[in-house]
Amino acid sequence: MRTEKFVAPADYPRADIALSERLEGYTRSAVKKLFDGGNVTVNGKVAKPSLSISAGDEIEANLPDPVECVAHPEDIPLDIVYQDADVAVINKPQGLTVHAGNGNIDGTLVNALLFKLDNLSGVGGVIRPGIVHRIDKNTSGLLVVAKNDKAHVNLAEQIAEKSCRRTYIALLEGNLKDDGGTVTTYIGRSQSDRTKMAVVPPEKGKIAITDYTVLGRARLGERQYTLCRFDLHTGRTHQIRVHAKHLNHPVVGDDVYGRKKREFNLNGQLLHAWRLEFTHPTSGERLTFTAPLPDYFVEVLKKLNVEFNLQ
């Protein structure tokens, strides 16, 4: 057990919000557990999550010692689009988490990679071997995996330098007014819910740039929809989902940034990493891969009678 002590720098409507802002990496539920266990005090008294905090209040939290977790191989079905001695390109299905988190080290893409592939880079540590970049659990599509450290460093540099190009397809709620454009904002942790990302002032986040192009529009009863292509210039957490919300047209099926009630009996958002382009870390060859839209995505587009051309 270790203790985190700090003085509140400003007023907060709730003690749990103040603590969440301080404890990087703690989810809202993890912070709640600290309060439920009586492990948080304010000015020396055990506090409730809803306690109002004033600037200068002394907050103390007893935190459990971190548990080292090491991912183990698991025989999980995996769509390997391409692989050689240096890299592998994976078409990740919706519902599969990329790597362990919050104490859960089973049933992830990493577990599947350890079972299917002979080698993975070690730069990401024992929890994230081979993982150069990630896509959300309920987003499908392509990501590249490094099979050795040299390839990992090279691919990470390509992502940082924006020469690794990533294109997504998404179905948005409503009728997007413009046929295309660029969204430029700063994205950081939401001040009201630390599990979410949000558009924030420059001093609170990192710049995020997304190009979008309308591929098709549809109406079903009273509701309208827009099929879009998104090209990333940066790779912030939940970037497309946050930018879609910023446009006032959240991704269909996104119950975090959009409607709480999912439509079309979906299990997640209709967001798919369709195309991935990067330079091979050894040969220098420029490689481009595409992954077709998942069946459930195609079925929704058929129901909406959306005509589009992916190119």
Enumerate the active-site residues.
136
Other C-beta atoms within 10 Å of 107: how many? Answer: 14
Q: Phi and psi (nearest 5°) for 241?
A: -65, -40
Question: How far apart are alpha carbons 171 and 169 in whole angstroms?
Answer: 7
Transcribe 197-256 into DSSP letters: EEE--GGGSEEEEEEEEEEEEEEETTEEEEEEEEEESS--TTHHHHHHHHTT-PBTT-TT
Residue with the two structure tokens 């382009």? 277
Question: How far apart are alpha carbons 110 and 202 in whole angstroms?
Answer: 34
β pairing state of 45-46 and 40-42: antiparallel
